[in-house]
Amino acid sequence: MKYRLIALAVASAFAFGAQAATDEQKQMAYQSIERNAAEIATVSDALYYYAEPGMQEFESVKMLKEQLESIGFKVETGRAGMPTALWATWGSGKPHIAIVTEIDALPEGSQTPGSMPRKPLVSGAPGHMEGHNVHGGVSVGALNAVKQVMEKYKIPGTVSVSFGPAEEQLVSRPFLVRSGQYRDLDGAVIIHIGDNFSTGYGLQNYAAISAKFAFRGKTAHGAVNPWEGKDAVDAVELMDMGYNAIREHMRPTQRAHRTITAGGVQPNIIPDFGEIWWFVRDANAPWAKENFDKLVNIGKGAALMTGTTMDMEFVASAWPQLANKVMAEAIQKNIDAVGLPKWSEEEHKFAKDFQTSLGLKPVGLNTQPLKFGQAQQSYSSNDSGDVTWNVPTGTLDFAAGIPLVTPHNWQAAVGKTSSIAHKGEVAGAKVLAGSILDLLTDSDLLGRVKAQFREDTKGTEYVSLMPPEAKPPVDMNREMMERVRPEMRKQYLNKVPQFK
């Protein structure tokens, strides 16, 4: 009995010590992040000035590769045939936890930081008008802190980060899933800039399929011999009208939008080429595929009616993002522990002045995290959804943006190198590091995360929405960047972070 009591006392002391060590581990991570706040900001600011759109993130990836290698990570680029896909790993064995994010900019978004009037850094150049630049600093800062804690406390496991190119065009993650990049993961955390801290669970957004349809006919003079022509633009118009006619017979959840990318050269020439680019979306992947198949048949019918031929070029696809409830609860605990940054009066004033200049309500910056709960499914899409149907995944939005200023507008680029963004990056890195440490050290938590994943995906088999022959569009945005990069180089930050 005496020996049993001693054993129980030792076991109790060990259990208590493990919990205390977890608190110590997180404090060490926080201190590392605070110590490297300037480096985190420099990484994110450098990415802002690189401002590279999808598939052209060469300078951005080069800098991130150098920074991750400098803190001891093994870095691989070029997975799935995409030169700017980056995968970095440190550690060994299980569990294996990864950050999933992106760093691409948007066309025509160039903007001088801090300037409320429109003032491009380089006219016609891309820019970070969603703020993906801040993802780089948060990821590197969090991984540096987690690695230091793992080394000191001899925590087993592996940590990774996946920077996928061309998120804005829904391109890379389905290809990376198909390549097997995420196959061995035990969990993942998708991070994204927001104007507040938030996490959630359930379906986060819509499934989507994107494709271009090219019609080829025969040219003729519009007045002299139009009967000899086969009008490819007529086929484009008929496809558009056909899908509009069928909308009333589709589920009210469906969404579809298009742009005509080739519509002829001048009125008196019967066009022998026409092209239309479609995005088709719905609340789940099977419904989106069903809608897309209808669209393809409508295109075939348009070609038949006009005597033209049709070719389809797959562009991108995405499953809806599925967020894990158990992991969301763990992330929320870390949000509550860290809290939002303490904004200064000057930062609140800048935010209010900017909001007023845009005709928005001057609410300033958020001071309380969003209430935890199941997220309302958004109609938008992103390419991370495919990851979430293969790996248990949580989501983390962090406050590095200004409330009410919507992304995909040049105004959203104004504050992305400000002290508001920098404070948000530090807070976001702390929550991210704490969440990863929980997943690495708490086997019960990770077990419940996996059980939740099995329940969420029960009865739904993941099948890629991409055709088997699909290849990533690696030349996307190349011509644009060849035109503007020489002037953009003059704006580069040219400052090298030194993580400690």
Q: What confidence tens digit (pLDDT) does each residue in 146-180 have?
A: 999 999 999 999 999 999 999 998 899 999 999 99
What local confidence, expressed as pLDDT, does residue 471 receive? Answer: 92
- With left for phi above 0 and alpha for psi between -120 and 50, is residue 233 left, alpha or beta? alpha
Decide if 437 contacts 22 (C-beta within 8 A).
yes
What local confidence, expressed as pLDDT, does residue 340 receive? Answer: 98
- What's the rounded Cα separation, in Å, for the pair 12 and 14? 5
DSSP assignment letter at 195 = S
What local confidence, expressed as pLDDT, does residue 373 receive? Answer: 84
- What's the rounded Cα separation, in Å, for the pair 139 and 426? 10
In this structure, the strands spanning 187-194 and 96-101 are parallel
Among candidates 473, 454, 474, 457, which has minimal Cα distance to 386?
457
What local confidence, expressed as pLDDT, does residue 376 receive? Answer: 85
Residue segments in the chain with a per-residue pLDDT below the cut of 50: 1-21
What local confidence, expressed as pLDDT, does residue 374 receive? Answer: 81
Helix (H) or strand (E) holding 97: strand 96-101
Decide if 167 contacts 57 (C-beta within 8 A).
no
Decide if 84 contacts 61 (C-beta within 8 A).
yes
Task: Let me know how long the chain is.
Answer: 500
Among candidates 215, 119, 165, which has minimal Cα distance to 410?
119
Q: What is the DSSP string of 150-187?
A: HHHHT--EEEEEEE-S-GGGT-HHHHHHHHTTTTT-SE
Decide if 97 contacts 186 (C-beta within 8 A).
yes
DSSP assignment letter at 127 = B
Report pLDDT digits (tens) over 254-272.
Answer: 999 999 999 999 999 999 9
What local confidence, expressed as pLDDT, does residue 16 receive? Answer: 33
What local confidence, expressed as pLDDT, does residue 375 receive? Answer: 76
